[in-house]
Structure 1
Amino acid sequence: MKFQNTVAALATAGLATAHGHGHAHAHKRATETETVSVPGPVVYDFVVLDPSKPGAPEPISIEKACEGLANNEFEWLNSAVASACPSSSSSTATPTSTSTAAPTTTATVAPAILQETSAVITPASSTSTVEPTSSSTSSSTTAAASTSSSSSSSSSGATGLTADFPDGEIDCGDFPSDYGAVALDYLGLDGWSGIQYVTILDNLVSDIVTAVTGDKCHSGAMCSYACPPGYQKSQWPTTQGSTGQSVGGLECKIDNKLYLTNEDHQKLCIPGVGGVHVKNEMSESVAVCRTDYPGTESETIPLNASPGAVQDLTCPSGEEYFKWKGKKTSAQYYVNPKGVSTEKGCQWGDGSEPIGNYAPLNLGVGETDAGKFLSIFPNAPTTYEKLDFNVRIEGDNLSGECRYEGGKFYDSKGLISGNSGCTVGVTSGAAYFVFYSN
């Protein structure tokens, strides 16, 4: 069986949109930091991308994809994920549908991500190999689910996304990467995506001081963390800001140990509702940055949309994820100009460039009783800069059309008056934010 199409590793993930809470978050101190993109767990699914038939990708089993590789019918476009199939260039062994690149997650975990380790398989006769991005290496595929032991003593022998966090056993100075959290070392916060020093008065957080580069997770701090694409942190306390600020993460208590703040979840990272993706059709990477909510609400959660890749975009469950005074949470992402690294784009900016919180465009995703919704909207009034590429929403079953093209927004009726953005509903199936050139 020979495919004349492009075959890509595909990840199931969530959507994004502006926060449903609608509150402004008061930053006591500006966070002057940098962010690094780190790959998530590696559990591969595959789809066929037929360039002659634009639209949603068609699924292909990992058995057929790996068999095609073994028979030299396909070749890797990104060699960083060759480990998805054992000896893919020559072996005829057929992996199971839950085949993983060790050490990572188990079959109980949602399909994997395409960040850094994303792959596209193409017919060997027609396509050359594209080298991974500078931050992508084959050894980095285990970063989010490392099996290295923590320097803190722990009664838990399990590690990674499926491991329960050992409440009160990990030192505050030890980032919990063994439990699925992704360290963002370039922020200069010892891997944390944000740190908040809180003062509690009458069961409300009366004061929040946001950490800056070089600060530590110590007693009295709420220490937030990133999760792999398709996942989101599970921890936030019931005690929230008295004037609408959000607080999230693990709590560092007086004994210098980390404690869960949401005992409904024993695992640090939980999957979104799935079914929303980013597809980059351009030749340059794009930094897509989610706000750390509940938490500092800075756009520090990175996704590197690699060229030719399809990647998960996390969409929180409207019913099950964090609520502020009963209001459901959606997710908001900042889209940087093409070629900007996540290290530079996924952090608090100063306005000297259209990046970070000054990026030109926002993506929003959320879930309601009627289904998911996807939005594209300008980052106004923060900035009126235009993005240097286009974005459209594609999907199996959408309520309408939404695209950003040439710096303007369009829906099913054409050009939108006022340039205010657009939203579509997703009644079923997968949906994609597609990045394409002007």
Structure 2
Amino acid sequence: MRSISIALTAVAATTALAQPHVHKHRRFHEHHEHNLAERDVTKTAWTPGPTAYVYMLNGKELTAEEVCEGLEDHELQFVDGQDPGVCSKTASSSEWEEWTSTTSAAPSSSTTTTSSAPAVSSASAAEFYPTPSSPAWSSPSESSTSSAPPQSSSGSSSGPSYGGGSGVNSAFPDGELDCGTFPSQYGAISLSYLGLGGWSGLQAVTIAGGFVNHIVTGVSGETCTEGMMCSYACPPGYQKSQWPSTQGSTGQSVGGLQCTGGKLHLTNPGLSSNLCIPGVGGVQATNDAGSVVSICRTDYPGTESETIPVELQPGETEQLTVPDAGSYYQWQGASTSAQYYLNPIGTPASVGCQWGSPGGNVGNYAPINFGVGAKGGVTWLSIFQNAPTTSASYQGTVELKGNLSGTCKYSNGQYCGATGCNSQGCTVSVISGTATYEISN
């Protein structure tokens, strides 16, 4: 397949291209020198037709959907009239949404950009957005009368490999707790398996000119100390509420509480004084397999590592948190969604919800991703291959169940929707009620 680069220009210098359907993770964070190497960043984008067109605006690559949206809003135009007819080739967004994501690959110092052209019925690798029109689900804050987090629908003698999360509806005492105190009594889940004092990620930041221009990511053995952003996990159905308005100068994300003057401080009190807030709701995962299943969300905004756990014992069902694009984190003015990694059956969260190694099929090398998000009154759900990070097949079956816009199922290396099967992925929207990711052998 040949690749052709086509330049665009903004119609007005003061007009920014809207990016409502796309968020690309950035991983330009610096790690301490005892980390072996910088992690590779691979951006996967869908481009239609037999020729792969790469659309560039001021040196940045845009997706076909971004281009069409900019053209339709009269915010973009092709330089020298080079329009290859991209907008006549894109699939209808009423049937599915394109998903674009940056996933971590093998350790490397290089950055690689690849393009692929899946069938029209598929959705490329990704991330999502917004709310069901008439959900039959109540948010955790509505359904809970105590400070306890939402509970699993099936009791199990084998608990998850993480703990905490009490007081999820309690306001955080801003500036009172020592930085060495993990706030497990205010909804945060302690992830001891990461070796970060319970935190889901640590970032030592340097701020200049209104931007974070230098980030050093903490590694196992460290904990929250002066000058750090200290990120945390929340119970299933909840997501962290804290991130600073000051973000990375080149697109890196920063999130969590800030350690200043030896105390933990809120960084986004305008959103909530609680550390954990409920998502839109209406999406859950159930384990119909014969062993433990771990689904790991990207810690975003933050280190962007897949450290936020949902661990399911056989027969258990838990919520997956659905961020609302209208009120949750905005990346450079664009709404964002949640990306989850589905680890092989039998993998506990303590193994799967952290960086993996090539060939291990866990962590960032897990074979399958879920895209979950809500925007404009619609909840979008996806199952897709964790490509190009890995081509490994998932040894099990995953199917989306509920009152959905179509079908979406993975089995034997194929992602099947209403219009057929492919090796890339499938996407549906929720019409009403609760949607379930059903995972089985």
Taking structure 2 as the reference length, the TM-score comes to: 0.68
Describe the SS at the equivalent of 1:186.
helix
Give the C-alpha shift of residue 28 in structure 1: 1.6
Partner letter of residue 24 of structure 1?
R
1:431 paired to 2:435: yes
Distance in 2 (CA, whole Å) between partners of 1:110 and 1:409 is 37
Cα pair 2:147 2:170 within 8 Å, conserved: no
1:422 paired to 2:431: no
Q: Which runs of 5+ in 2 are unaligned?
A: 1-20, 36-142
Distance in 2 (CA, whole Å) between partners of 1:371 and 1:301 is 24
Q: Where in structure 1 do 4 or more consecutive aligned residues deviate above 6 Å? A: 108-111
Partner letter of residue 22 of structure 1?
K
Distance in 2 (CA, whole Å) between partners of 1:312 and 1:109 is 17
Distance in 1 (CA, whole Å) between partners of 2:421 and 2:148 is 38
Mapping of 1:403-422 within 5 angstroms? Answer: 403-416=409-422, 419-422=423-426
Q: After superposition, what is the alpha-carbon deviation per residue over 1:266-322, rounded to whole angstroms, capped at 9, x for unaligned?
A: 000000111100011111111110000000000001111221122110111110111
Give the C-alpha shift of residue 414 in structure 1: 2.2
Distance in 2 (CA, whole Å) between partners of 1:293 and 1:215 is 20
Cα pair 1:370 1:427 within 8 Å, conserved: no
Distance in 1 (CA, whole Å) between partners of 2:147 and 2:27 is 33
Aligned to 1:132: 157
Cα pair 1:371 1:425 within 8 Å, conserved: yes
1:393 paired to 2:400: yes
Describe the SS at the equivalent of 1:246.
coil
Distance in 2 (CA, whole Å) between partners of 1:162 and 1:346 is 25
Mapping of 1:353-372 within 5 angstroms? Answer: 353-372=360-379
Give the C-alpha shift of residue 109 in structure 1: 6.6
Identity of aligned residues (%): 52
Cα pair 1:113 1:312 within 8 Å, conserved: no
Q: After superposition, what is the alpha-carbon deviation per residue over 1:331-376, rounded to whole angstroms, capped at 9, x for unaligned?
A: 0000010001110110011214110000000001010114101000
Give the C-alpha shift of residue 144 in structure 1: 1.8
Aligned to 1:27: 29
Aligned to 2:274: 267
Distance in 1 (CA, whole Å) between partners of 2:359 and 2:159 is 25
Distance in 1 (CA, whole Å) between partners of 2:417 and 2:199 is 39
Taking structure 1 as the reference length, the TM-score comes to: 0.68
Cα pair 1:275 1:430 within 8 Å, conserved: yes
Mapping of 1:10-89 within 5 angstroms? Answer: 20-29=22-31
Aligned to 2:218: 211
Aligned to 2:296: 289
1:119 paired to 2:154: yes
Aligned to 1:41: none
Give the C-alpha shift of residue 113 in structure 1: 2.7
Describe the SS at the equivalent of 1:357.
helix
Q: Which runs of 5+ in 1 are unaligned?
A: 1-18, 33-104, 121-130, 146-159
Partner letter of residue 295 of structure 1?
G
Residue 180 of structure 1, aligned match among 176, 187, 204: 187
Distance in 1 (CA, whole Å) between partners of 2:238 and 2:157 is 23
Partner letter of residue 306 of structure 1?
Q
* Paired residues, number: 315
1:324 paired to 2:331: yes
The RMSD of aligned alpha carbons is 2.4
Q: After superposition, what is the alpha-carbon deviation per residue over 1:101-150, rounded to whole angstroms, capped at 9, x for unaligned?
A: xxxx9516798231xxx526xxxxxxxxxx622657xxx9x8321xxxxx
Distance in 1 (CA, whole Å) between partners of 2:316 and 2:29 is 35
Give the C-alpha shift of residue 428 in structure 1: 1.7
Q: After superposition, what is the alpha-carbon deviation per residue over 1:84-114, rounded to whole angstroms, capped at 9, x for unaligned?
A: xxxxxxxxxxxxxxxxxxxxx9516798231
Give the C-alpha shift of residue 408 in structure 1: 0.8
Give the C-alpha shift of residue 23 in structure 1: 3.3
Residue 280 of structure 1, aligned match among 265, 274, 287: 287
Distance in 2 (CA, whole Å) between partners of 1:109 and 1:424 is 34
